[in-house]
Structure 1
Amino acid sequence: MGRRIDRRFSFLVCSRLGKPKLFVQILFLLVALCLFISLASQLATSNTMTQNDLRFQAQDMGRNTDAVQNVSSIRGQPPPRRESPGACNCGSDPTDLWDSLEYSAMRRRRKELEEWERLHDHEIEPLVECRTSSPLRYPASGITVEPFDTVKLRRLRLDPDHPTVKGSDSFTLTFVSEKSLGILFVSNSTFLKGVDVSGNFTGNVKIQSKAVTPIQQVCQSVYYHSNLYDIDTRDRITVTLNNVSFTINVRIKRRPMPFLYDPGESHHVNDLVTVITKTFERYDAVNRLIKSVNKRYPGMTTIVADDSERPQRLSGKHVKHYTMPFAEGASAGRNLALSQVEVK
């Protein structure tokens, strides 16, 4: 029965549409039309979402001119006019960029750093130049370099009026690192004419020339590079000119980190000084000390290191009480109190 119905249905379709080829073409057109309608609806939905996103973006940002123009064009309204901000009128006052308290602390910090650098410069070894009867003037000491850094061998020059220099037809200048803590090199060796440099960027550099002028130029371009890390050590550079030898001391020293303290805006003595003491079973004496400090210098901090057997509570204001193990000792207590100091 089912087969008869299928045959009748196929007969009716073929009789109405003609050949099966025409039926396939119509079916293909219907499918293509459905796909086109679906794609058009998706594009319309995406456009609507984009317009809504632009509206929300323009409302959130407020300053995006392009977004405002897009939203205005969508709504059919002209874009609003915006006045030109003009030149910046913030001025040159640093307090316009930072808070007044922050700028004041930054200014005090800079001043403390300059003071620390001034005191640190006095600790650097002075440059000592040897001006003897030798044909070469050289720095005996005062050359300091950071680990893994480079320094120039300053004040190194040949004396052209020396009898040994005048009577020589050729010159041989060598630099040797005795402790092998670094290397030596001539910076412009490739640009010097009439100079033969061997062993450049090693611990043993040899320079040969037949004229005085190239040797003078080499002496102004000799550098030392530290290739070993050490916080404080020395390397000896042996310099030999023909048959005359000299020694240059190069100090390899790590620059210490600056310890900066905030003296406060008023530079009051309470912001500059802290009282420290060590006590052991003498609470009467330490309480009298705290009372005296509070009376004469109100607001000054007192740090107490206590290694008594049964610590007691101290009386007074602005007191920092640090308890220690029993009978730890005076030196340990003073070191503990000193480590807690936060003023200059």
Structure 2
Amino acid sequence: MFHTLDKRGIGNINWLLPQSNLHPPGPCTCPTGAVLLKDGLPKDQYEQLVQRRAKEFKQHKARTTSVLSRMLFASPNSPLQYPIQGFKVRPLTSTLIPGLALHAEQRSSYKVSLIVSKGVLTTEVPAEGAQVQGVGETRLIMESSSLVILNKMLAKVSYTSTVYHIHTGDLASFQFENHEAVFPITIKQPQLPVLYDMGTDISSHVTITTKTFLRYTKLKVLLSSIRKFYSNINVIIADDNFEPEKMNGSNIQHYIMPPAQGWFAGRNLAVSQVTTKYFLWVDDDFVFTEKTKIEELVEVMEAIPELDVLGGSVQGNQFYFSLIYEEGEESEGGCLHRKSQGKFQSLPGYPRCYLASGVVNFFLARTDAIQRVGFDPKLQRVAHSEFFMDGMGSLLVATCGHVSVGHQSKKDLNVNPARYNSFRNPGGQDSNFKLQLHFFKNHLKCILYG
């Protein structure tokens, strides 16, 4: 988080960095069997796509990185004391810098300086015994023959950012003789909490959400099974059927979409209408059983508030996966491996639950977290892992096998099977579009669905 260096120059820190950290990452290694995404791009559009992607990626980095991302190092035996982590200021607001001090052997005079780039520095100047230059500027110099007086001035140093930004940072250089320390200053606008007033029953904790298309018979079985175990819980249905049917019953919100808008568009609609802290996602051909205990999923989420998504099992199938990602070179993009049944470690206190990157289509999720990530409506027919890819690094995901839901028979769709399958299995064109989307949107070079 920090480093010290001698008078070889402020900002010239390369001599302290390990060689492996001096250069951007090299090309990533595509897993064996991975698809090279550029091979599926139209040849006559390739150069323009690459240029547009490079421009978008540059803007993405500008939005997601700052000086706070820089690696800093510390050399031993420094007499400088300073905050190494956790110093946070509000934009355009004066804030005392905690912990500044000098611990030096006796000298005839002590002189220190502080330099920042995105703000100004001030301190209280004593009536006598000290000299101060640069109050209200980016460089503050303090000198005194008394170490006690100097440390009193250091204890009164304040930082004020001069440029408004909701989340950025500055690096402060703290110098004494041949010693220099650099420490981070986080400039962040505080966020208002968004809290959910959870009542005493499960219906005030959770909303059930689903998307239906050409399967009303299945949907009615699902709704009937839900009411068998949860008579009052609210159910939200996103419906993009060609000939909509009204779903009767209490505590049902039925939203009709334009026909065949697709899987992720429906998910977005359903989740956008949730007002409870959590929602339970189910497919329209699932069926609740005595093992579909939503309360047990809520218990885990409440015990581990960092979790965003908690999957269960479907008909005994506890599908989950891990995502292995290398950023790679900027020009080529990254390498992604979706590893089926890949998991990380068990949840503390819940040995049957494991952290993962993605889970099956039966999961409890924190509403506000999922709304921030969203479901890409470009993915209309076959998509699931792509949501978790978009949420990688934002969503903490886990899977538990002890809560399950049933799955209805694939027979008796009550629709023309050929018509349904034409949407459910759209063929190579949809797959090619998905790979092209990964190339541009996710800045990938290759992907392997393992």
1:234-286 deviations in whole A, cap 9, x for unaligned? 1111111122111110111121221122223xx11111111111222222222
Structure-1 separation of matches of 2:212 and 2:94 = 51
1:151-300 equivalences under 5 Å are 151-159=95-103, 165-177=104-116, 180-186=117-123, 188-189=124-125, 191=126, 193-264=128-199, 267-300=200-233
User: Is contact 1:171-1:209 (8 Å) kept?
Assistant: yes
State which structure, 1 or 2, has the greater radius of gyration over its C-alpha atoms: 1
- For structure 2, the 5+ residue unaligned runs are 1-73, 278-450
Match of 1:148 in 2: 92
Structure-2 separation of matches of 1:131 and 1:269 = 55
SS at match of 2:84: strand
SS at match of 1:193: coil
User: Is contact 1:198-1:206 (8 Å) kept?
Assistant: yes
Structure-1 separation of matches of 2:262 and 2:167 = 32
Structure 1 counterpart of 2:149, which letter? Answer: P
Farther-moved stretch of structure 1 (328-337 vs 244-253): 328-337
Match of 1:136 in 2: 80
User: Is contact 1:183-1:202 (8 Å) kept?
Assistant: yes
Give the Å deviation of 1:200: 0.6
Greater fraction of residues in strand: 2
User: Is contact 1:235-1:252 (8 Å) kept?
Assistant: yes
User: Is contact 1:173-1:240 (8 Å) kept?
Assistant: yes
Seq. identity, %: 33
Structure-2 separation of matches of 1:131 and 1:338 = 51
- Structure 2 length as normaliser, TM-score? 0.43
Structure-2 separation of matches of 1:192 and 1:283 = 83
1:92-103 equivalences under 5 Å are none
User: Is contact 1:294-1:317 (8 Å) kept?
Assistant: no
Structure 2 counterpart of 1:184, which letter? Answer: L
- Please say if 1:318 is aligned against 2:251: yes
Structure-2 separation of matches of 1:343 and 1:307 = 24
User: Is contact 1:303-1:337 (8 Å) kept?
Assistant: yes
Structure-1 separation of matches of 2:271 and 2:245 = 21
Match of 1:98 in 2: none
1:41-85 deviations in whole A, cap 9, x for unaligned? xxxxxxxxxxxxxxxxxxxxxxxxxxxxxxxxxxxxxxxxxxxxx
SS at match of 1:259: coil
Structure-2 separation of matches of 1:234 and 1:316 = 53
Could you say if the C-alpha distance between residues 223 and 335 of structure 1 is closer, same or farther in structure 2, counting changes exceeding 3 Å?
Answer: same
Give the Å deviation of 1:308: 2.3
Match of 1:59 in 2: none
Could you say if the C-alpha distance between residues 282 and 206 of structure 1 is closer, same or farther in structure 2, counting changes exceeding 3 Å?
Answer: same
SS at match of 2:267: helix
The 4+ residue runs of structure 1 with deviation greater than 6 A are: none
Give the Å deviation of 1:132: 4.6
SS at match of 2:151: helix
Greater fraction of residues in helix: 1
1:181-205 deviations in whole A, cap 9, x for unaligned? 221111x22x353111111111111
Relative contact order, higher structure (CA 8 A, sep 6+): 2
User: Is contact 1:294-1:316 (8 Å) kept?
Assistant: no
Could you say if the C-alpha distance between residues 253 and 226 of structure 1 is closer, same or farther in structure 2, counting changes exceeding 3 Å?
Answer: same
- Structure 1 length as normaliser, TM-score? 0.56
